[in-house]
Structure 1
Amino acid sequence: MSFEAVSLEGRVAIVTGAGVGMGAATARLLAARGAKVVVSDINPETGEATTEQILSDGGEACFIKCDVADEGQVEALVARTVETFGKLDCAVNNAAITPDTLPIAEADMEVWDRVIAVDLRGVMLCMKYEIRQMLAQGNGGSVVNISSVSGVRPQPNNSAYVAAKHGVIGLTKAGSLENAPHNIRVNAVLPGAIDTPMLRAALEANNFTEAEFAPQLSLFSRFGKPEEVAEASAWLCSDASSYVTGHSMALEAGYLTR
């Protein structure tokens, strides 16, 4: 096996939640590595912006709006991907919403249900239709689910987010068991403290600065970059990770070692 830079030449990929943050960085990187990328997001403005950036950089991409909690929209996302690019080889299920912020005894169940709907049900729905398409093609494929370090090390006051991210790891394991005979690999990426709009909003809401908070979450005393998470997803989408399935890859600068 060659140890040259990971190539995704000729692949077709879906990235959900690709308007900002890790999703946008992942979509751009997959396109830079040669993939034709379907940029999906619930927000057309940010999704179109990511798509335009890929096109201006010489890549191939299109934007498809999708609320991943809506089964009909997810089914249409995969169908339109195949209509546009002819197939589906890999997918990064990244779409998520801001965690809940109350202890269990005070939980707002409307918020709780929405977090579960997007962060867990959304991943399940994407897997359902992505894997169904890959099975129909008969050529294998790769699915990458974005979980979180909260999927293995809970934090207080966001039970819905913690439950959802634990669930994503469970779905990843189940998907790998079911689909390994079909050469469809299913893996998860567990980001730690990554510098995204979601993290910045949480810092602002709690009156923290990066200098104060990053040392608690990172042995490097800094936040991770979305591009660093994108590299992991690109590797898992590529043939370089051909012997990897059912794995949860943590990108957390040593947070889980403490």
Structure 2
Amino acid sequence: MSVAGRAAVIGAGGGIGRACLATFADAGWEATGADLHAGDGLHPLDVTDPEAVDGFARQVDADALVYAAGTVATMPVAETDPAVWRRVLAVNLDGAAHAAAAFARTMIAGGRGGAMVFLSSAAGVRGEANASAYCASKAGLIGLVESVAAELVPHRIRVNAVAPGNVDTPMLREVARGIARAEGRSEAEVWAGLARTGAADRILAPGEVARVCVALCGDAFSGVTGATVPVDAGYLLS
């Protein structure tokens, strides 16, 4: 089977990132993953370190990037610890900016064009209570994508965002446990409520999001750049 190209997935240890890595491989890409927690063949990478991100970009010389690194904090804004706020923004937004810059440099130098996809969130499109840092980081990511997409059009590098709804990942499971503890409810009850956000009636599987991310990197979507694509099973509908 011919190789579709070289792909990099940052945040490949998480639910969506791991699914992206597998989906790239299934589609014939040569895929390399990186994560803060190395293992299972993943490269160790701290996205808050711009020099480390730059080194990874130069090492893989990718035609496609999916940035799936992310973290979340749920608490009322009046109780938000500045250190927690800074950590969420550092991973979700600053890290994405480091990746955009580093992979733009390698893709421009390579002269082959390319594609980048950044994982935003439905919560970046429509804010939610008790998640100000997360919502701000994911909304900022959409602005970053639109700006970088406009810059890179002359280099045939497309840049898009994907905005998932609630996806069955370890991160969402941890959020559900936290809500259950804080509100004195069962985790099953909280999980059922998360499945019924907006018009949605279920939790998405990571592969459903990954397939969109990988498709956006391919030739079928060669005319799409600067877009934010919701993959939310109706989360944003009311």
TM above 0.5, yes or no, is: yes
Which sections of structure 1, spanning at least 5 residues, go unmatched?
1-6, 52-62, 82-86
Determine if the alignment matches structure 1 residue 94 to structure 2 residue 91: no
Contact 2:117 2:160 (C-alpha < 8 Å) held by counterparts: yes
SS in 2 for 1:15: strand
Question: After superposition, what is the alpha-carbon deviation per residue over 1:218-240, rounded to whole angstroms, capped at 9, x for unaligned?
Answer: 52x21000000001001101011
Question: Aligned partners of 1:11 and 1:205: how far apart in 2?
Answer: 40
Instruction: Give the deviation of 1:213 after TM superposition.
Output: 3.0
Q: 2:8 aligns with which of 10, 14, 19?
A: 14
Instruction: Give the deviation of 1:216 after TM superposition.
Output: 2.6
Instruction: Give the deviation of 1:189 after TM superposition.
Output: 0.3
Contact 2:53 2:102 (C-alpha < 8 Å) held by counterparts: yes
Aligned to 1:252: 232
Aligned to 2:110: 137
Question: For residues 63-142 of structure 1, what are the structure 2 equivalents within 5 Å?
Answer: 63-81=42-60, 87-97=61-71, 99-142=72-115
TM-score (norm 1): 0.86
Which sections of structure 2, spanning at least 5 residues, go unmatched?
181-186
Aligned to 1:60: none
Question: After superposition, what is the alpha-carbon deviation per residue over 1:84-119, rounded to whole angstroms, capped at 9, x for unaligned?
Answer: xxx32000011011x222222221000000100000
Aligned to 1:58: none
Question: After superposition, what is the alpha-carbon deviation per residue over 1:119-149, rounded to whole angstroms, capped at 9, x for unaligned?
Answer: 0000000000001101011111000010000
Aligned to 2:184: none
Structure 1 residues 193 and 129: alpha-carbon distance in aligned structure 2, compared to 1, 3 A threshold = same
Q: 1:186 aligns with which of 159, 176, 182?
A: 159
Aligned amino acid, residue 209 of structure 2: V
Question: After superposition, what is the alpha-carbon deviation per residue over 1:31-53, rounded to whole angstroms, capped at 9, x for unaligned?
Answer: 111111111001013xx2xx4xx
4+ runs of 1 displaced by more than 4 Å? none
Aligned to 2:38: 44
Question: Aligned partners of 2:120 and 2:106: how far apart in 1?
Answer: 23
Question: Aligned partners of 1:8 and 1:191: how far apart in 2?
Answer: 30
Aligned to 1:173: 146
Aligned to 2:183: none
Question: For residues 50-61 of structure 1, what are the structure 2 equivalents within 5 Å?
Answer: 51=41
Aligned amino acid, residue 170 of structure 1: G
Contact 1:25 1:226 (C-alpha < 8 Å) held by counterparts: yes
Question: Aligned partners of 1:112 and 1:178: how far apart in 2?
Answer: 29
Contact 2:199 2:237 (C-alpha < 8 Å) held by counterparts: no
SS in 1 for 2:197: helix
Question: Aligned partners of 1:213 and 1:151: how far apart in 2?
Answer: 16
Aligned to 1:230: 210
Tell me the number of residue pairs that the alignment of Structure 1 and Structure 2 aligns: 230
TM-score (norm 2): 0.93
Contact 1:8 1:238 (C-alpha < 8 Å) held by counterparts: no
Contact 1:188 1:249 (C-alpha < 8 Å) held by counterparts: yes
